[in-house]
Amino acid sequence: MVAVTEAARRPEVIRVLERYLVEIVEKYDLCPWARMARQKGELAIHVLWGEPAIADWVEAGKALLARPKTRVAMVIAPELAIESAALHRIGGAVAQALPIAGVADFHPRAPLDLATPARLVPYLRRSPDPMLQLVPFSVLDAVRGPPSDATRVAQVSMLGGFVEPPKPDAAERVAANNHETVSDAHVEITRTLESIAADRAASYQRVGIAGVG
């Protein structure tokens, strides 16, 4: 019975996530490696059920990063009721436990704030479910070429990761470009996010994923 339940539930979580990746992240070019990683099968995903402990997040992230093809790892907790600040703390703990990767937290509830590029970031990371994204530093290095320490800090900053703020450079240019894009298209983006959220609620209820209002 457990295998049947898992077979019905996990595909819906992945399907809804892919809507967010394709219709938001890729369509508006918010991440430089998102499309390539997904299309080449280099996106690794693990779903945690119920209310996972920090050790569960760490174990899942470690397993995904150990896969040879992984360029982007995503650990999702679709049944977890959590505030964004608490998820951010989990991300910090995972980053300390897995220092080989940049870690960013994604949360489904974040208001649109166009005041500055930095204040827009939570809205851009409004994934359907609470999620941590991990990108190996080796991948970040390959994207940019041999990095200096400052460049690596900038790369992790692009993920909203847990590092000291970088000096003005590529990371800030990416943030500025995203800010300009979303400023022009925020009505359409919000409409799509709301469509994805409605899809999630209906499909999760249908397959019996707990905690869906």
* Mean pLDDT (whole number) for 177-194: 94
Spatial distance between the Cα atoms of 33 and 202, rounded to a whole number of angstroms: 30
Q: What is the pLDDT of residue 142?
A: 58
Spatial distance between the Cα atoms of 67 and 126, rounded to a whole number of angstroms: 26
The reported pTM is: 0.84
State the pLDDT confidence band at 104, using cuts at 50, 70 and 90: very high
174 pLDDT above the threshold of 90: no
Spatial distance between the Cα atoms of 108 and 78, rounded to a whole number of angstroms: 10
